[in-house]
Amino acid sequence: MNELLGKLAACIEFGKVNLASPYPPHMKDQEGADEITRRALDGGVDPQDILYFGLMPGMERVGIKFRENRVFVPQVLMSARAMSTAMLHLKPYFLSGAARQKGTYIIGTVLGDLHDIGKNLVAMMVEGNGYKVVDLGTDVNSEKFIAAIKENTGAVVGLSALLTTTMVNMQHITSEIKKAVPETLVTIGGAPVNHDFCKKIGADFYAPDPQGVVEFLNKK
């Protein structure tokens, strides 16, 4: 594959944003995701290939390392920053249809809950793995989820909660979603959530980490 795309994947993996960014120490004074994406586009590399063979492999490696506790939240946020810098260059191609994402993922923290770090990490990783992400924010009720599903046909939904008192709201939201648009797949996560709870409330998938949901989406 294009040497530039290999470099871009490394920028995403290690969170190298641009030339000026001192992070990570071992890539100091090198070009980052910003310059390399620009250069690839200017050199005629297909934007779709940039997404599939530059950004996605990089983000996949981050997801796996995070799951294995080899990197922590700040390093993932650095990778996400590198990725969104690259995405800025690609946005026009997504809008024009010259490049396409793999599908849409709607995510939100459920009614009554305001925690969003975990939800944001999931959103970033799913986006970095080639999906369009619609982030509804925190304290999201079933109506808002349903409206977003109707706007984005075929989208998969992600619900996040960090307290047992708000986790219970996932049940109502899931059943309302299934009532309104029965074929919708609902994925759930957050510190107090587990596989048994997922089964109990009739959701389709639980993952303890973002990579889990990426793998679920990729299998569909």
Partner 1 sequence: MMNREFNFRLDELVIDQQEVAAVLGYDEGPLPEPFDSYLEQAMDESFGLTDIRAAYRIVDDIMVNEKEHLLMACGLAFKVGKTVCGELKGSQRLAFFICSAGKTISEKAEKLLKGEDPVLGYVYNVVGNAIAEAAGNRMQLFLKQAMEKSGDLITNRYSPGYCHWNVADQHKLFSLFPDSTCGVSLTSSALMQPVKSISGVIGIGRNVKYRAYPCELCSAANCIYRRTMHH
What residues line the site for partner 1 (CB under 8 A)? 21-25, 69, 71-75, 77-78, 80-81, 111-117, 120, 163-166, 169, 191, 208-209
- Shortest Cβ 187–ligand B12 spacing (Å): 5
210 touches, from partner 1, ligand B12, none (C-beta below 5 to 8 Å by class): ligand B12
Neighbouring residues of 185: CB distance < 8 A, sequence distance ≥ 6: 156, 157, 204, 205, 220
CA distance 71 to 62: 8
- The answer to whether 188 touches 218, Cβ cutoff 8 Å, is no
Stretch that binds ligand B12, among 19-27, 36-44, 138-146, 159-167 (CB under 6 A): 159-167
Choose between 45 and 167: whose C-beta lies nearer to partner 1.
Answer: 167
Both tokens assigned to 72? 């922590």
CA dihedral 108, 113, 117, 123 (to 10 degrees): -10
- Shortest Cβ 182–ligand B12 spacing (Å): 20
- 172-211: which residues touch ligand B12 (CB under 6 A)? 187-192, 207, 209-210
